Amino acid sequence: MEEFSYIGKDMKRIDAACKATGEALFTADLALPRMLVGKILRSPHAHARIMAVDTSKAERLPGVKSVVTARDTGGDKWGVFKYTQDQQFLPTEKVRYVGEEVAAVAAVDEDTALEALSLIDVAYEVLPAVYTIEDALAPGAPQLHDVYPNNINVHVHIDVGDVGKGFADSYLVREDTFTAPEDAYFQGEPYAVAAQFDHAGSLEIWMPNAGPHLKAKPLSNVLKIPLNKVRVRKITIGGAFGGRSEISPADVICALLAKKAQRPVKIVYTREENTVCTRQAHAMITKIKTGVDRDGRVVARDITCHMDGGAYSSTGPIATSVPFLCMEQAYRMENVRYNGYRILTNKPIRGMFRTHGRAFACGVDLQLDRIGEAMGIDPLTMRLRNARQTGDTTPTKSYVASCGLTETIEKAGKTSRWAEKFGKLPPYHGIGIGCNSVQTGFPMGIRGGSQAFIKLNEDGGVTVITGIVDNGQGNDQMIVQIAAEELGLTPDDVQLITADTEVTPSDPGSYSMCETFIGGNAVRLAAQDVRKKLFRIAAAELGVDAENLGAKNRKIFVTNNPQQAMSIAKAVRIALSRNESISGEGSYWPNVDGKREWVKNPYGQLSETFSFGTVICEVKIDSETGQVKVLEVTASQDVGFALNPKVIEGQFEGGIAMGGQGGMLTEYLQWHEGRVLTPTQLGYLVPLAIDMPKINTIIVETIDPKGPYGAKEAGMSVAMSSAQAYCGAISNALGVYFHDYPITPDKILNAIEEKKKRERNE
């Protein structure tokens, strides 16, 4: 392994200081000259026909500068995919959930805007609504969209091998159902949009996003202006977690208000709007049937999953597929069938989430635990026996180039002292394990690749120009480390222009965990391009072949005689003095199967590589209150290579908080007739500092053949498998298996009481 200056080091992040001082500007912090306050009028009904919208009184209110309704849009329907185009951003005919956008105003201040909203009259004809998967599928149920009969939005069907024969050949077969209600991203930063149009017809727009280029094209389509006039700007972003990727109604509405008023407009969501009116995570019912051989190895699996998608498609096909794909990546199985259904209901929209599919993932793992128990095989061994290995091909035909899952299981097992604890803990004290795997990038067609440019200054400093976006996970720092390393500069010499669609070339965004793999590779290639050009110059100057050169600390030197060197700045100036402009370019397109499609053809290389993770959790339960005290969590992930170990640890720790501590113990949305009753910080409970346990982090490096320096992605597999570990631990502590999540104290108490009753009756 080479000796790196910056790669693999725990360097502090370049964006940290400005965030520590409060200087870093988030969207809601922007103040543009003459900026107006935008507010959105929302539907109070879950399902209703819009009979009339009268905005005349609002328009006449002094201080109101623009009002928009569906009349101001083309009425076109948009969708993430061509076959899911079902959403208008201001609906023309009917509203389909409480909170859906109906009209909007921009005014000189917030009070005027709110007053204007109250002056807008909307007449509705209320229609019957459906709020659950069962109700939506029932015969005669009200249909949300004409194009989705029976409210079935997406059906993903995968069938590999011979599942029937597999079950017939199995030593043991189990079937279980697992359920969980909706959860929420609950990003620290509530959603906000700021937009302005100039008289050249160009839009400038800011919003927290998981990829500005993913936002720009839909805006271009909806507003009917070319892409070069849609400038989604770089802004500090307060978390995405799988959200904020595709265009949001607020984006379009803000742009329209700004266009009409010919003044900048800013819309800032409340916490409630962020939870309800931006897409959130699915509720799910998962039925899993698994057959194993005498050694506990899975022979066949048949899974049916129903997801509650809310009123529109959003990233539906992806969400419907991902939990299954994560499972088939993590575990070997020859014969597998999957039927994933995304069902529409009159509730706010759902989409992909960082820890999407707790009912699915916990179901898979818990079932392995139950099967193992019946066969006298402990959960950790069950994972080892079924773990994915390097060189495998998944059932849907993805080749796995690097896989450290077994290593993560073994190391987590050792650190957590699994063998000493499992089966040997006192009552109400338990330990559990979860494993999962995550893609690094999905096939995204023409937007699946990343390109980076590097501009050089005459003093040897550079600016890296890339579409990579940082949601807080540390992507900007990653760019600096890669560029500085490859170019032989120091981090101080590297400036960034990122995530600005006017300047930066296309990049798939952080949405599919590919910024390190795809974006990072593009940056590395661009830096190598510059390096080659500079080395050609230096080789001539120093009288050696280019392959005998190295670069470090702003110098290009001869590798076996480092005293023979010249500064990078000098090399740049030499080029310029020869009237040669000098810059770098690099692009990376993942080697995935371009014909693979979520619904139509769910087979082929899904992403170029995968990360793998294991979490082990130890808990103690208060048998009188059902409260769970989490004693210790050990998390291990195969990240390929740790570009910055501290950053990766931070991702593990945050992932455990979201997926495990929150996702398994306290986080879920409560509803009343399509209305979210728990949208705020007192209703939706995310973990607090006092709740978090001791966390051990173990980084496993398999050096992926294609990742930059071998790196893959940082932390998603841990985030996902945390819930599974928590679920297994609680189940182990009580000797009762939980199939419904989150596992709140009332459920634990009920389980304890039922178990006592059963034991008394025996």
Beta-carbon-side half-sphere exposure of residue 696 (alpha carbons within 13 Å): 19
Residue corresponding to tokens 């990233």:
315
> Is residue 89 a contact partner of residue 249, using CB atoms and an 8 Å limit?
yes
- The answer to whether residues 46 and 673 touch, using CB atoms and an 8 Å cutoff, is yes
Euclidean distance between CA atoms 378 and 368, whole angstroms: 9
- Contact (Cβ atoms closer than 8 angstroms) between residue 267 and residue 110: no
**Interface residues for other proteins in 124-153 (CB under 8 A)?**
124, 126
Q: Name the minimum Å distance from CB 65 to other proteins.
A: 7
Using left for φ > 0, alpha for ψ between -120 and 50, and beta otherwise, residue 126 falls in: beta
Please report which helix (H) or strand (E) contains residue 153, including its range. strand 152-160
Applying CB under 8 A, the span of 301-309, 580-588, 602-610, 689-697 interacting with other proteins comes to: 689-697
**Cβ at position 142, least distance to other proteins in Å:** 17
**Could you tell me the smallest distance in angstroms from the CB atom of residue 690 to other proteins?**
4
Q: Minimum CB separation from other proteins for residue 99, in Å?
A: 6
Q: Which is nearer to other proteins, 1 or 690 (CB)?
A: 690
Buried b (16+ CB within 10 A) or exposed e, 37-69: bbbbbbbebbbbebeebebeebeebebbbbbbb
Q: Give the containing element (helix H, strand E) for 281.
A: strand 280-281
| Residue 190 contacts other proteins per CB under 8 A | yes
Q: Which of 92, 179, 463, 678 binds other proteins (CB under 8 A)?
A: 678
Minimum CB separation of residue 216 from other proteins in Å reads: 22
Q: Kindly state whether residue 101 participates in binding other proteins, applying the rule CB under 8 A.
A: no
- Which of 1, 20, 200, 446 binds other proteins (CB under 8 A)? It is 20
The angle, 0 to 180 degrees and rounded to 10, between the axes of the packed helices 379-386 and 358-375 is 110
> From the list 6, 8, 13, 702, which residue makes contact with other proteins (rule: CB under 8 A)?
13
Helix H or strand E segment including 584: strand 583-588
Selected range binding other proteins among 328-336, 460-468, 667-675, 727-735, rule: CB under 8 A: 667-675
β-partners of residue 302 are: 289, 337
Closest approach, Cβ 94 to other proteins, in A, equals: 15
Closest residue by Cα to residue 409 from 717, 143, 176, 185: 717
Residue 1's CB is within 10 A of a number of other CB atoms, namely: 9
Residues 708-747 that bind other proteins (CB under 8 A): 744-746
- What is the smallest separation between the CB atom of 209 and other proteins, expressed in angstroms? 13
Report the nearest approach of other proteins to the CB of residue 87 (Å). 20
Per CB under 8 A, the list member of 145, 425, 675, 703 interacting with other proteins is 675
* Amino acid in position 646: K
Interface mask (CB under 8 A) for other proteins, residues 40-69, using x and -?
A: -xx-xxx---------x--xxxxxxxxx--
For residues 635 to 654, the per-residue mask of contacts with other proteins, x marking binding by CB under 8 A and - elsewhere, is -----------xx-xx--xx
**Cβ at position 415, least distance to other proteins in Å:** 16
Q: Which of residues 572-631 bind other proteins (CB under 8 A)?
A: 624-627
Residue with tokens 């103690």: 620
421 near other proteins, judged by CB under 8 A: no
Length of the chain in residues, anyone?
762
DSSP code per residue over 405-456: HHHHHHHHHHHTTHHHHTTTSPTTEEEEEEEEEEES----GGGS-EEEEEEE
CB of 743 to other proteins, least distance (A): 12
Query: 3: Cβ–Cβ under 8 A, 6 or more apart, which residues?
Result: none
- Asked if residue 686 binds other proteins (CB under 8 A), the reply is yes
Containing 521, the helix (H) or strand (E) segment is helix 520-542
CA distance 94 to 49: 4
Q: Are strands 675-676 and 671-672 parallel, antiparallel or unpaired?
A: antiparallel
Four-point Cα dihedral 370, 375, 380, 381, nearest 10: -150
List C-alpha distances in Å: 122 to 93, 115, 333.
Answer: 12, 15, 55
- Residue pair 618/631 in contact (Cβ under 8 Å)? The answer is yes
CA–CA gap between residue 735 and residue 431 (Å, rounded): 11
Q: Which is nearer to other proteins, 235 or 435 (CB)?
A: 235
CB of 306: closest distance to other proteins in angstroms? 25
**x-or-dash pattern for other proteins, window 211-250, by CB under 8 A?**
-------------------------xxxx-x---------
Instruction: Name which position in 619, 676, 733, 751 contacts other proteins (CB under 8 A).
Output: 676
Please say which residue, 119 or 716, places its beta carbon nearer to other proteins: 119
DSSP character at residue 310: T
Residues 520-579 that bind other proteins (CB under 8 A): none
Contact code string over 258-297 relative to other proteins, x by CB under 8 A:
----------x-xxxx--x---------------------
Among 340, 520, 655, 707, binds other proteins (CB under 8 A): 655
Binding residue for other proteins (CB under 8 A) from 1, 200, 446, 690?
690
Which tokens is 80 given? 């993430």
Of residues 167 through 186, those in contact with other proteins by CB under 8 A are: 186
689 binds other proteins (CB under 8 A): yes
- 17 or 419: CB nearest other proteins: 17
Using CB under 8 A, count the residues that bind other proteins: 113
Stretch of 148-156, 594-602, 687-695, 700-708 contacting other proteins, by CB under 8 A: 687-695
How would DSSP label each residue in 628-673? EEEEEEEEEEE-SS-SSHHHHHHHHHHHIIIIIIIHHHT----EET
Amino acid at 530: V
Map the footprint of other proteins across residues 397-416, applying CB under 8 A.
none
Q: Which is nearer to other proteins, 64 or 222 (CB)?
A: 64
| Cis omega (within 30 of 0) for bond into 645 | no
For other proteins, the binding residue among 665, 698, 743, 751 (CB under 8 A) is: 665
Q: Does 21 bind other proteins (CB under 8 A)?
A: yes
Query: 197 and 260 in contact (C-beta within 8 Å)?
Result: no
| Positive or negative: CA dihedral 451, 457, 460, 461 | negative
Minimum CB separation of residue 46 from other proteins in Å reads: 8
For residues 477 to 516, the per-residue mask of contacts with other proteins, x marking binding by CB under 8 A and - elsewhere, is: ----------------------------------------
Which CB atom, from 66 or from 436, has the smaller least distance to other proteins? 66
- Judged by CB under 8 A, the stretch of 36-44, 225-233, 418-426, 577-585 that binds other proteins is 36-44
420 binds other proteins (CB under 8 A): no
**Cβ proximity to other proteins, 79 vs 474, nearer residue:** 474
Binds other proteins by CB under 8 A, chosen from 85, 150, 415, 666: 666
